[in-house]
Structure formats: C-alpha cells, structure tokens
Structure 1
Amino acid sequence: MTTRAILPIADTATTTRRAWTLLRRHRRPLVASVVLFAVVGLSGIVPPYVLGAIVDVVQDGTGSTGEVLTLAGVIMVSALVGGVATAASAALLARAANPALAQLREDVLERALHQDAERLEEAGTGDVMSRVGDDVRTISESLDNALPEFVRAAVAIVFTAVGLLVLDWRLALAGLAAAPFYLIALRWYLPRSAPYYRRERIAQGERAEALMAGIHGAPTLRALGRHHLARERIDHHSRAALVQAVDVYALLTRLFGRINLAEWVGLTAVLVTGFLLVRDGAVTVGAATAAALYFHRLFNPIGAVLLIFDQIQASGASLARLAGVLELPRPRPSTDIVFRRPVIRLAGVSHRYGDGPDVVRDVDLTIAPGERVAVVGSTGAGKTTLASIVAGHVGATRGDVMIDGHPYAAIGPVDLRRAVALVSQEVHVFATSVRENVTMGRPDLGDDEVWAALRVARCEGWVTALPAGLDTRVGHLGHPLSSAQGQQLALARVAAHDPAIVVLDEATAEAGSSGARDLDLAAEAVLEGRSALIVAHRLSQARHADRILVMENGRIVEEGTHDALVDHGGRYAQLWSAWSTSDPL
C-alpha cells in the first residue's frame, strides 16, 4: 500500500501551547469551575469522617439519638452541596472549553483551506475530514464527560489523601503501601498508551480516506469492473483500524489487573494497621473505620483517573492532530492589489508530483489582457496541471509564474483568488440556497446582482422555476440539480465575483449533447471581456479561441489559431479530423 504524506501532527509542547492560548480567552468560567471542583472535593471527604464519628458515638453509648441524627444531617448537606457544585463545575468548564474547541475547529479548517490544493490532495481528503470530524468529536465528548470526571477524580484523590493524613499519619502511611504498585502500573502504561492512540487515530483517518474514495469513485469503478479493488482497500484499512482498537483494549485490560493488585495491597495494609492501632488503644474504632472508608473511597477516583486517562490520551492525540494543522504555513496576508487587465506569463515552467516525472515541461506562455487561449491534447498530456498552475492552485516545481510582473509566490491567496477564478469539471454545489451558492465569498451582493450573474450564465429560467427561487436549497438534501445546472451555477458564481482571468478546466465536459450548447454559450458569456485559459473537452470550444495550444507529454508542441493549425496538418489537424467526424457538434 502507498504511504500518503498526511498533514503534520504537533508535539506535546506545541499542543499544550495551542490549548492554553485558546483557553485563556475564557479565564473567568475556567477559574470558577476550578473553585467549584475544589468544593466538590471538600464535600466528598465529609461523609467518611462523620461516619467514623457516628461509629464512636454508638460504640461509647454516650451519644443521644439527636446527636446521631445531626451527624447524619451533616452528611446529607455535604452530599447536596457536592451535587450542586458538581453540576455547576461541569457547566462552567463547558462554557470555557466548548467555545475554545469551536474556535480551534474554525482555525484548523481555515488553515487547511488556505493550503495548496496539491498538499491537501497529497494528504488525502480523509485525513482532513477525520481531523475536523472524528478528532473534534473525540475532544468534544471528553469535554462533556471525561474531562470533568477526570478533574473531579483528581481533586477527590488529593483531598481524600489529606483527610487520611489528618486522621492519623500511621493509617495514611499504611495506605501509601499501594503507591508503588500504582506507580509501576502507570510507568508501564503511559509510555505505551500515547503511541497506541496515535496509531489508532492515523488508522481511522486512513479508513475514512478509503471510504470516501470508494464512495466517490463507485460509479466509475463499477463501470470498469474494478469495484473489488475499492472493497479490498476499504477492507484493508478497516482491518488495520480494528487491529489498533483491539490493541488499545488489550493494553487497558492489562492495566486493570495491575490496578486491582494495587487496591488489594493498599486496603489490606490500612485494615491490618487499623486493627493493630485499635487493639493498642492508639486510635478509636471510628477513626479506623473512617480510614478504611477513606482509602476505599480512593478506589473509584484512582480507577477513574486511570480509565479516563485512556480517553484523555485519545483526546490528546486528536488535539495534537488538530494543532498540527495549525503548524502549516500561514496564508500570505492580502496586499489589496487589484489586477484589472493583467498579463499572465509563464517562463520555463515545469511541474512534477512528488518524486514522479515532470508532467509539465519547460512551458513558456503569455496570456494578454482579454485573450482566450485554449489547450487541447490527449489524456495525460498535462493540460489540467497547466490549468492548475495558471489558476494558482498548484505551484510550479521550476520556472516563474507571474501576473503583471508579480510572482504568484509573492501574492496573497486572497488577492490571487480575486484575480483568477478556476472552474473545473467537478464543480461543487454547496448545501445552501441558490443565492448563497452565487454569493459565496461575496455576501455583499444584492439580489439584482445575483440575478444579473444568473442571466449571464443562462440559468435565470430554471432558477425562476424553482420552488422558492433564489431561496431554494440545493446541494445535499436539497433540490436536485443536473450536472449542467451545477456547472451553470458555478459559472454564475464566477460572473458574480467578476475576476480578470478565468481558467476553465473541461468545465462543460459533464453536459450531455442536449446541454453542451447551452453550457458553451454560458461559458462564452461569462468569459466576455476577460482573459481565459480553456482546457477544451470538445474541440468546438477551442475552435473560436484566439489561440490554441496543443500539448503532448507535458510540452506545448503546436500553437496558433484554429485555421492555421488545421492547415498546418500536424497533431491538432489530426485531433480535429477525428473529432469532427465523430461529433456532430
């Protein structure tokens, strides 16, 4: 199986720094929750101590019923205070942590969306989606349940240990007999757990990538009879994720055995010591009873800390994956450069994917203001890569790419996207209204401007016929659109954004013969007055271009107008002859 270059994973120091940076913005609820957690811990040590006092009162026979009831009332009040403080502390912690998590998710998604498309494709869609989906859900579940319980358990351990020490130092010392066994268990577990969870999260990301790739490519795979390969890949990654999950549970099972041994050693030591001290008259039966209850009360908190630490480790691994995305390069700030009628120039441009061969080789190209340049060639000739380079979605491995003399690398992504728009064969219809699909990134546009863009893209008619017009929800779970309508909506979005340069990468290839002419006319209208690079699926699109480039093996092998290239009798003439014979359009 090929190893993908997944997005980075932050180290512990970086993850901690990122978490604190987000949490300190919500200090007040965070501090209040810490205070209330302390109240919970204090209320928890009251019942064992009071129960010990009740034992002494009953044993001496000197106390009254009223005194016993009063002590019982103290236990009830402490339980009530502890319950209220528990609920309030969890709520305040959520008020501090959940907004921080929401901000982290937004920051991660924003940073990912500003990366080069090539980098994200190299990592795989599943890696990105598992981080903003599965990892955020893992952290959110910990914030709602595991983290409050972990803090309460840690506080209970501290206060109970102090209460045991105050009760009698010898009983506390007996309880410490369990400490070495707990430490041995932790020392065995901690170095092993973090790598286990890291591998588990990576395996889940690989599984998500395999599932998404299989679902998106299902029609093509079935048509080619290769769907079994997708099933095998999904099965491979699913089994890998299952193996990692089983390994984690096996690790936990071995930890539980070590915890049970520590509990047995500690409780036995406290009971034996209490018996000896009571026999010698050094402590009362009530004190020995309270000590045993105190130590027994440590079972659940210590077990919870170790068990919940399992979830905290998983959350830590997820947080490290999110923080790792934030370590990717920041997008360059906007310089507010406005390109009105720019010149695009490529000089000696080559590009390769990873360690593979060059797919674009030594391309020199100038696109003048308002000029339409079409690119044709056989499959694999490098047309799409060239289009992606001109659009700024893929960086050149070698050579210079400039707009009005400014290197692409020196221009902020906001400025570049404002100047250059890309419409590919695989357009995305956002799951929202038609209006928001057109104004995506330009929320300042009014309805008149939206309708004007729709008219340019020749989709005013069918949008008017929709149940709610501009307010009709389309995309996932919305009103279904055909491939041609989705392309028209993408072209309308380009018209609304009004870029100086448009790159069409087989943008009308998905339309059937009935919709091809409408899409071609829509594309021509949108391109009016703009510079354009058109990767032509149908040669009818190239025929009316100002200039045609013919690519083979990553190089431009022919260049000229349609008539000149046909008369030349070269590669384009061969393509034109084959296409015009087979396609009536």
Structure 2
Amino acid sequence: MTAARLPVADRAAVRRAYLDLARTDRRGTALVLLTTCLAATAALVPPWLIGRIVNLVESGTASTGSVDLLAVGILTSAAAGVLLTRQSRYLAHRFAERALAELREEFVDRTLALPTTVVERAGSGDLMARTTADIATIGGALRDAAPEVFVGVLQTLLILVAITLLDPLLGLCALAGIASLWWAARWYLRRARTAYLAEGAATSEMSESLAATVEGARTVEAFALGERRVRDGDLRVREAHRTRVHTLFLRNVLFPQMDFSYVLALGLVLMVGGLLHVNGSVTLGVVVSASLYTLQVVEPLARLLMWMESIQRSTASMARVKGVGNAGGDPPPGGTPGDDRIEVRSVRYAYPGREGSDAVRDVLEDVDLAVRPGERLAIVGPSGAGKSTLGRLLAGVDAPRVGSVTVGGVPVADLAPDELRRRIVLVTQEHHVFIGTLRDNLAIAAPDAPDARILDALDAVDAAWARALPEGLDTPLGAGNAELDAAQAQQLALARVLLADPHTVVLDEATALLDPTTARHAERAMAAVLAGRTVIAIAHRLHTAHYADRVAVMAAGRITELGSHDELVAADGAYAALWRSWHGAG
C-alpha cells in the first residue's frame, strides 16, 4: 500500500508563514532592510560621477584636481557599497539562522503532535524529506535568495529612476527592453509552484522507497525480493528525474530570455542616446551614464531572476513544511471519561486503502468487549487474527469504521492527546533508545521523577544491568556511547510505562524480544507494580494468559472465546488446544 502523502499549505498560509518569520525578529529585519537600501543607493553614485567626468572632458574644462576629486568619490562610493553589501548579507544570514531555528522547532512540535496513525501512513520518507531537503531549501532562500531578491528589486527600481532623471526618453528605452522579461517571468511563475511541489513529492516518494528497502534489507534478502524492490526504486527514481527535468526546462526558457532583454535594453539606450546626442538634446556624459546604468541593471536583474527559481523552490518547500500542521485534521472534541471502564461495541475496522476498493475487507468484524477497571485481560490467537489491530483501537491510535470504542463513555479516539496519554498507553515490540543519558531516556515518561523512582522502575522490569553502568543514570546511550541490546532496550521501554503511570496499559507483544525467563520476571514485576490498573496484554506466549483475569481468543477478526484461563481450558475449545500445544512444547 502506497504511503499517504502529507498535505501542503495553500499560498495564503505560506505568505503568513514568511511574514511571521519576519515578525519574530523585527530588529533583525529592519537592520537588513536598512543596510540593503544603503548599499543599493551607494551603487548609483559611480555611474553618475563617471558621466560628470565625461562632460568635463568633452567641454574642455576638466582639470587634474576636479577629475581626481570625482575619482575619489567613485572609489569611496564603491567601497561603501561593498562594505554595506557585506554587512547586509551578514545580517541576513544571522536573521535566516534564527528564523530557521524557529521553523525547525515548530516543525518538530507539529510532527510530534500528529496522531500516530497519520505518521505511520505518511511514512518516514516524506517527513524526512520535509525536515531535511525542504527546510534546507527554505534556509538557502532566507540566507541568500530573499536578500538578493530585495536588493535586485530595489536596485532595478532606483536605476530606472536614475536613468529617467537623466533623460525620460532614455529611461523609457531601458524600461521597454527590460519589460520583455515580464512575459517570460509570468510564464515561469504560472508553472513553477506546481512543478516544484511535484518535484518535492517525487523526492519524498523516492526517499520512502529507498528507506523501506534499506530498513527491510534482511526481509528483502530472505524472501528474494531484490528485483521487485529494485523495480520499485527505479520507478521512483525515474519519476523524480522526470519532475526535475521539467523544472530544468522552465529555467531553460527563462534564462535565455533574460540575456535577450539585457542586450535589447542596452541597444535601445545606445541607439536613442546617440541620436539625441547628435541632435544636441543630451550631453555625452548623460549617454555614458545612462549606458552604464543600463549595464548596471543587468547584474541585479540577473540576480533577481536567478534567485527567483530559489524563491519558487522555497515557497513550495514552505508549503510542504507548513502542511504538516494540517495533517492531523480537526482536533478531537475531547471530553472527560466518567471512569476507566473500556467498552468495545459492534466494532468493524478496515485499514485505509482497503476501504477505497469496491469490496471492503474488514480485519475486525462485530467485536464486542468490556474491560473492567483494574482487570488483566490477555488477547491471544494466531497471527493475522486482528489482535494488534484491536490493541490499536483500544489505545486510540485508530478509530473503528463501524461501532465504538469508549473509555468512561467517551470515544477513545476523541480524547485530547494529554488526556489519552494519562489514561491509556500502548507498548509495542518496537522500541527506541534516544541519544542522551539513561536518565534522559526515562525522564521522557516522567520529567519530574526523582532518581529513586527511576531506579525502582528499572528494578521492576529486572533491568539489573542499569545499576552496573559505569556512570549510572548519567551514562550516555546510543551513537557511539553505551549500546543496549534488544532485550535491554525493551526493558527500557517497559520502565517508561511504569514511570508514565497510566490507568490502562496495552501491551502488544511487549516482551517478545526478551528471553522466556527474563520475560516472565518482567511480566510478574509489572503485574505487581500495576496493581489496581487495567492491563491488556496481546501475546503469543500463553503464560501471559495463564496469569490474566480473563482471556479473549481471537480468530479471523472476531472474539471467539472469552473467559478465565481455567474456564477456557475446561471448555476444551480453541484456547484449550492452544494451551496444550504451547504447554507441551514448553
């Protein structure tokens, strides 16, 4: 099933995002604008002074002192322009880095606030592309493109005004030559955003495909899926190549038109200026100054149009980055449950992608279940029976297609995130060790927990190795530091659950990676620590069911048996057969 694409923000949201970045650092924005304006003004002085020198020479009134004085003015203004330009770029870089820091923090906050199901369906490739390539593109635009575009626009306008002040007709000639760019720019801008959004989406899909192949390398090798994964990768790479070739085509249309416009503008100014000079309408110095200004406009215009491509890329990237905040949809209505009783009524569920087909294939069918507060319920059954799917619904990760899953009378999927985490925690086979100390990894679940409580939680899951670490709770983990094996990492995840102290814990094969002895110890310890809390354990190891208050047996998406261990063994049904098979094998 193809990963669901995360949404993108509309144009209005992108404009607001850039304005918000500017508002977060008003002083920095003002300094960038001020130095940029001064640099653009300084660049106007040399051509005008050169025209004065030409006029003095032409009239025969030039003297060494006057020419030297004008030359000093040219050098001074040029030096001032260089220094001001350097300072404006330095300030722009500082502003961009601060803005990027804000953007990255906001992106992380929005990503962490997304429902788990949204993140899973989107896949890691899209999120990684947005947080790396897209934010890098925005950073380049903020550091370089935005200041350059502003400078280019300002210098172009000032130069055209300067030419017009020298002679209105020459100003009109320069404007006519440059105006031919308008058509090419308009053609480009109409197509650029869509093209760059398509390029970003193709890059995300390519990243997702490559990441899935790398992460599942052992599975690919075990089932001889190499050719299939190569074909899928080739397809994604070809699509990414096609979208990039299309954006390259847009640039190849725009840039030649730029060169033609420059030549046209300069040609018109020289031709008309020469005719005016011959007729005595303007001095030679005016023609020279106007020609130099026209040559001078080439550089800011070229910079403007070349960075326009970067601006379009960054606009598309900003739409993708800001779109993450829209992926969660409307916030849940919330509500406060009256108690911790969980009820599943007439639930049917089909995974997204299957519902879109003509025939909906439910993986859960007419499931009814009531879990009493403080009860220990074990859910067992063969692989594919729907155990993990039911666990996700009980934990509020997904919502049923038909029916309801409630806690205290409130739909679990409608609980506000904070309320949901306080009540129900899902622990799966997956685990993660974050870069940081052992204390940091555990404080995620309880930021204010004292060391004594953290150590008690580790002891409760039989993590004796934690006390043997060289620096205790301050021992750095991951990325070249102390490495935890799979069993230790899973014990760390179980300790987090104890520290989080929820009312209900859904354990989806949470001890699958522990050896049988360690798993039994950890489960007994958890049973003792979680006294008075609801524990729903999904497991293949039936010793978990043996210690449970009740056992729900699932097959083909239905609950086929429900009762205590002794009752189900005495009934001599599917559970009794499973128990005899497992007990005999053990």
Aligned AA (1:350): R
Deviation by residue 1:318-349 (Cα, 9 ceiling, x = unmatched): 001122222343645987x698x722222222
**Which moved further from structure 2: 515-524 or 210-219?**
515-524
Q: Which deviations, in whole Å up to 9, do the C-alpha atoms of 1:36-59 show, x marking residues without a partner?
A: 221111111111111221222233
Match of 2:270 in 1: 271
Amino acid at match of 2:139: S
Structure 1 runs (4+) deviating above 6 angstroms are none
Counterparts of 1:391-470 in structure 2, within 5 Å, are: 391-459=395-463, 461-470=464-473
1:472 to 470, 475, 481: 475
Aligned residue for 2:295?
296
Which one of the candidate residues 558, 562, 565 is aligned to 2:565?
562
1:344 to 329, 342, 345: 342
Give the superposition deviation at 1:473: 2.0
Aligned-partner Cα distance in 2 for 1:419–1:67: 86
Aligned ranges 1:181-330 → 2 under 5 Å: 181-328=180-327, 329=329
Residue 305 of structure 1 deviates from its aligned partner by 1.2
Give 1:109's aligned residue: 108
Q: CA deviation at 1:245?
A: 1.7
Greater CA drift, 431-440 or 111-120: 111-120
**Partner in structure 2 of residue 368 of structure 1:** 372
Letter of the structure 1 residue corresponding to residue 347 of structure 2 = V
State the shift of 1:143 in Å: 1.3
For residues 294 and 278 of structure 1, the distance between their equivalents in structure 2, rounded to whole angstroms, comes to 17
Between 420-429 and 70-79, the greater mean CA deviation after superposition: 70-79
Partners of 1:272 and 1:486 in 2: CA distance: 79
In the superposition, the TM-score normalised over structure 1's length comes to 0.94
Q: Which amino acid aligns with 2:453?
A: E
- What amino acid does structure 2 have at the position aligned with 1:559? L
Does the Cα contact within 8 Å between 2:445 and 2:499 map onto a contact in 1? no
Partner of 2:498: 495
In 2: Cα distance, 1:429 partner to 1:200 partner: 34
Per-residue CA distance 1:350-392 (angstroms, 9 max, x = gap): 2211214221222221211221101111111111111111111
Distance 2:11 2:166 in 1: 39
Q: CA deviation at 1:108?
A: 3.0
Query: Which residue of structure 2 lines up, in the alignment, with residue 70 of structure 1?
Result: 69
CA RMSD of aligned residues (A): 2.2
Q: Partners of 2:447 and 2:24 in 1: how far apart?
A: 29
**CA spacing shift, 1:106–1:183, aligned 2, 3 Å:** same
Asked if structure 2 preserves the Cα contact closer than 8 Å seen for 1:457 and 1:526, the reply is no
Q: Is the 8 A contact 1:40 1:86 kept in 2?
A: yes
Distance 1:512 1:453, change over 3 A: closer
Judged with a 3 Å threshold, the aligned counterparts in structure 2 of structure 1 residues 344 and 484 are, in CA distance, closer, same or farther, namely same
User: Residues 107 and 326 of structure 1 are in contact (CA less than 8 Å); yes or no, is this contact kept in structure 2?
Assistant: no
Deviates more, 1:510-519 or 1:166-175: 510-519
1:528-581 Cα deviation digits (max 9, x unpaired):
432111111311222211111111121101111222212222221222233233
Distance 2:333 2:25 in 1: 28
Fraction of identical pairs, as percent: 39
Count residues with an aligned counterpart: 579
Amino acid at match of 2:507: L
Q: Deviations over 1:467-510 (max 9, x none)?
A: 32212222344321111101100011111111111110011112
Cα pair distance change 1:95/1:542, threshold 3 Å: same
From 549, 552, 576, the counterpart of 1:549? 552
Structure 2 stretches lacking a partner, 5+ long:
none
| Native 8 Å contact 1:23 1:97 kept in 2 | no
Q: Name structure 1 gaps, 5 residues minimum.
A: none
Q: How many angstroms does 1:165 deviate by? A: 0.9
Q: How far off its partner does 1:95 sit?
A: 4.6
For the Cα contact (< 8 Å) 1:431–1:473, is it kept in 2?
yes
Letter in 1 for 2:315: G
Displacement of 1:200 after TM fit? 0.6
Comparing 553-562 with 525-534, which one deviates more in the overlay? 525-534
Distance in 1 between residues matched to 2:90 and 2:449, nearest whole Å? 41
What letter matches 2:38 in structure 1? V
Decide whether the 8 Å contact of 2:364 with 2:390 is kept in 1: yes
1:202-239 Cα shifts (integer Å, max 9, x gaps): 11111121122122211222222223333332232122
Residues 94, 330 of structure 1: CA spacing in aligned structure 2 closer, same or farther, 3 A cutoff? farther
Pick from 539, 542, 545 the counterpart of residue 539 of structure 1: 542
* Residues 333, 495 of structure 1: alpha-carbon distance in 2 compared, 3 angstrom cutoff: farther
Secondary structure in 2 aligned to 1:358? coil
Q: Distance in 2 between matches of 1:243 and 1:410?
A: 42
**Partner secondary structure for residue 548 of structure 1:** strand
Identify the residue that residue 390 of structure 1 maps to in structure 2.
394
Alpha-carbon distance in 2 for matches of 1:525, 1:217? 37
* Letter of the 1:501 counterpart: T
1:195 offset after TM fit, Å? 1.5
Q: Which deviates the most, 346-355 or 38-47? A: 346-355
Distance change >3 Å, CA 499–CA 477, structure 1 → 2: same
Work out the CA distance in 1 between the residues paired with 2:525 and 2:477. Answer: 20
Who is 1:80 aligned against?
A: 79
Q: Distance in 1 between matches of 2:113 and 2:362?
A: 25
Any idea what SS the aligned residue of 1:374 has? strand
| Counterpart residue type for residue 344 of structure 1 | I
**Shift of residue 181, structure 1, vs aligned partner:** 2.0
**Contact 2:92-2:144 within 8 A present in 1 as well:** no
Q: Specify the code of the residue in structure 2 equivalent to 1:21.
A: D
Aligned residue in 2 for 1:146: 145
Distance 1:346 1:172 in 2: 78
Using the alignment, how far apart are the partners of 1:330 and 1:64 within structure 2?
77
